[in-house]
Amino acid sequence: MQALSARVFDDGDTGTIDPFALFEEWYGAATGAEPNDPNAMTLATVDKSGMPDARIMLMNGRSPEGIVFFGNAESMKGLQLNDNPRAAMVFHWKNMFRQVRVRGVVEEISPEMADGYFHSRPHGSQISAHASEQSRPLQSREVLLAHVAKLETRYDNGEIPRPAYWKGYRLKPIVWEFWQAGEFRLHDRVRFTREGSLWTRQRLNP
């Protein structure tokens, strides 16, 4: 099992700790420890009725401002974020016995940033963004593949435009929680909460 970072989980340490810097430290370790998609996360949203929803997404960018991801604004998650622009994320790094939970408000990133990322994606992924009416009923897989074939012909020799509904989002954290597995389920949990421009931290029971 991975050793805990003493400077973070030492109860006698009262110095200032930036949760994003700690996330960067843990994510850096995860990129070497996890065989597949260390940037995978669960994204949880809520619909108009208050019913929660969740799915696995990929983190496509990060900064002290927040965690960036992309998707179809007309999908279930896009509609839910439009109605209630708040969300939660969970990163689970199984090989390191660690997870990070994030809660916050969600905002759209600029169209220019979305364009830049869209055109950095593989050709097939750009085509699929046009072909899929995400989350909506599909008559058959053959219908989807036929649509893909038509788009491949249409954009055979030119740049593929970003669909207007394909957008980027940034979750701006107001709460971070870092969890490290402990023996006999005596896990270490530390929660950081934003208060104005500062972060306070609190150890939690396992």
Tokens of 52: 């929660």
Catalytic residue numbers, as ranges: 185
H and E: helices and strands count for the chain: 6, 9
pLDDT of 203 over the 80 cut: yes
Mind listing the pLDDT tens digit for each residue in 71-82? 999 999 999 999
C-alpha gyration radius of the chain: 20
Q: Give pLDDT, residue 182.
A: 87
User: So what's the pLDDT on residue 3?
Assistant: 45
pLDDT of residue 146: 95
pLDDT of residue 183: 87
Over residues 141-200, the pLDDT tens digits come to 999 999 999 999 999 888 999 999 999 999 999 999 999 998 888 899 999 999 988 999
Q: Give the model's pLDDT for residue 199.
A: 94
Residue 54 has pLDDT above 80, yes or no: yes
Q: How does pLDDT run across 20-43, given as a tens digit for each residue? A: 999 999 999 999 999 999 999 999
Does domain 6-119+166-204 sit in CATH 1.10.260.40? no
pLDDT of residue 5: 47
User: What residue segments make up the domains of the chain, in order of their start?
Assistant: 6-119+166-204, 120-161
- 8 A C-beta contact, residue 179 and residue 101: yes
Give tens-digit pLDDT for 87-146. Answer: 999 999 999 999 999 999 999 999 999 999 999 999 999 999 999 988 899 999 999 999
* Residue 69, Ramachandran bin (φ over 0: left; ψ between -120 and 50: alpha; else beta): beta
CA triple 90-94-97, angle to 5 deg: 95
Banded model confidence at residue 2, pLDDT cuts 50, 70, 90: very low
Which pLDDT belongs to residue 9? Answer: 61
Q: Could you tell me if 41 and 91 are in contact, meaning their C-beta atoms sit under 8 angstroms apart? A: yes
**Tokens in use for 106?**
């969600």
